[in-house]
Amino acid sequence: MKILSYFDAGLSGLLKTLVVLTGLAIAGMLTIGIFFRSVLETPVFGLEEIVLFCVMWFYMAGAVLASRERSHLAADFVTVIFENPRILKVIGIIATLISLIMAAFFTDWSWSLVSWGLDRGQTTPVFHLPMWVSQASMLFAAVCFVLYLLRDFISDIRGMF
């Protein structure tokens, strides 16, 4: 289990670095794009392609971090309806199980998307970058979602007993 903790900490550090760097890159590229279009009245061809790749990895890395920390958005109105802690734990287990099932479907779908992109050799129009690089962010996130939700599900079950 200690090796998993080291791996998790390393992944967390890598993802936080990725979020910061891609966030800065996106802001910089958008600023450059706006400057060139509005001030110099000339577009920067291909900039949108690079922004797309950064945005995909930025969003998916952030979603994995939220899943890791269980800090994703939740409309938790159940605590208003029920006060019994045992019922709330059961509902939490059910919610985690549903999320785990959905993440498994998302993993399958994203694998199909990446493999389809690899088979077809899709590339971007300007720089001919392989599209599977941005699509792989979804597969990476989906696998991480399954792993973290499995961890959460086991933790919820243990907390019940």
pTM of the complete model? 0.87
Residue type, 29: M
Q: How far is CA 145 from CA 6, 98, 140, in A?
A: 18, 12, 9
Residue of 2 and 24 predicted with greater confidence? 24
Indicate the residue type of 129: L
Q: How far is CA 120 from CA 41, 111, 114, 123, 132, in A?
A: 36, 14, 10, 9, 10
- Give the span between the Cα atoms of 60 and 118, in whole angstroms: 20
Measure the CA–CA gap between 88 and 58, rounded to whole angstroms: 33
pLDDT in tens, 34-74: 999 999 989 888 899 999 999 999 999 999 999 998 877 66
Contact 43, 36 (CB under 8 A): yes
End-to-end CA distance of the chain: 21
Candidates 1, 160, 7; CA nearest to 87 is 160
What pLDDT, in 10s, does the model give residues 63-119? Answer: 999 999 887 766 676 777 778 888 888 888 999 999 999 999 999 999 999 999 999
Tokens 């792993």 — which residue?
147
The DSSP secondary-structure symbol of 84 reads -
pLDDT tens digits, 126-155: 999 999 999 999 999 999 999 999 999 999
